[in-house]
Structure 1
């Protein structure tokens, strides 16, 4: 089973959104997966589930560093780091990158810039990120009220507003994740 760890020590950066949208992507294509919600704050649309013959494990983590995060990093096949793109996000991302490097997983990471729009990308973040990107894949999920609306109905933004920019960019991001773990795009 391949493990997809969605981690960042900062709360509100989009970890649960990414976990849910990835689960929706797997649901649409009959991929067998287990879902682990370690966050405990609620907000995830999918109910956690463990399937014996799952091909993938999606692990949504809390917005803080906890004791076994290093073990989860070591066991992950792909680490997704959702983040906002402000100067306030730099320190927490730096800590996450250090943890990932300490656990020997630097090449197995992917960034997702969440709630992105051209007005909220801080120059300080952009300058800092150039120094740490190190060939890692980056994807973007745009800022959109469609996510909140879809969540109210327990749906993916792809199902709720399929022609919206939010749905199109989410599909692109989920397909990039699928490619990273060896699944075809859908």
Structure 2
């Protein structure tokens, strides 16, 4: 049985795609899965994170495999990795449907991070349209949510009204997520047991349920 491919896609920049990709990959690995990361974003932020991880932990102790690909090569590389790994997590570039479409087409599930603001919600529609065109299952992930802000609830309801499934787990607006990335780590490693770590673990478990895992 081939592994599952989880593509992180959002055409709007600044949505937290790379941070989410890294955190989900580590959460899955900590849960015992063999995980490969595939960076399709020419900006290479995920690759920089992985290099920092190698420096922090050692090249043989990252707990992950890492590859890069671009354009239609992403589909081929993802499917190749899925033959050897339980999960392949793909980070895609913003603002480019040409670069993102092959990774969406290859995905078992597309996770779409959305910040709880009207602008982010409006900007998400082209991504959802592209996913729908490819017929790939998707899950919206509310990211950087302010738990006490009425706007978060309002936007959450608006996202549900789009007709696309949304994750029950919401990721809070926590400095710890970004801070952990600087050393090639994640909040599960720098602050295990914290609310941020619990949120990521819950989201990873939710994604696995959607994949029938």
Following the alignment from structure 2 to structure 1, what is the Cα–Cα distance between the partners of residues 42 and 168? 27
> Where is the helix percentage greater, Structure 1 or Structure 2?
2
Residue 59 in structure 1 maps to residue 90 in structure 2: yes
Range 96-105 or range 122-131, more displaced: 122-131
RMSD: 2.3
- In the alignment, the residues of structure 2 paired with residue 42 and residue 69 of structure 1 have an alpha-carbon distance, to the nearest angstrom, of 14
Q: Does 1:46 align with 2:50?
A: yes
**Which secondary structure does the structure 2 equivalent of 1:142 belong to?**
coil
Structure 1 position 79, deviation (Å): 0.6
Contact 1:144 1:166 in 2 (8 A): yes
Higher relative contact order (CA 8 A, sep 6+): 2
Residue 165 of structure 1 corresponds to 195
> CA offset at residue 90 of structure 1?
2.1
Q: Which has the higher strand share?
A: 1
Between the aligned partners of 2:153 and 2:91, the Cα distance in structure 1 is 29
User: Shift of the alpha carbon at 1:179?
Assistant: 2.1
Corresponding pairs, count: 181
Q: TM-score, normalization: structure 2? A: 0.74
Q: 5+ residue gaps in structure 2?
A: 52-65, 68-76
Q: Output aligned runs, 1:35-184, within 5 Å.
A: 35-44=37-46, 45-46=49-50, 48-49=66-67, 51=81, 53-105=84-136, 108-117=137-146, 118-119=148-149, 121=151, 125-126=155-156, 128-183=158-213
- TM-score normalised by the chain length of structure 1: 0.84
> Would the alpha carbon gap of residues 69 and 41 (structure 1) be closer, same or farther in structure 2, given more than 3 Å must change?
closer
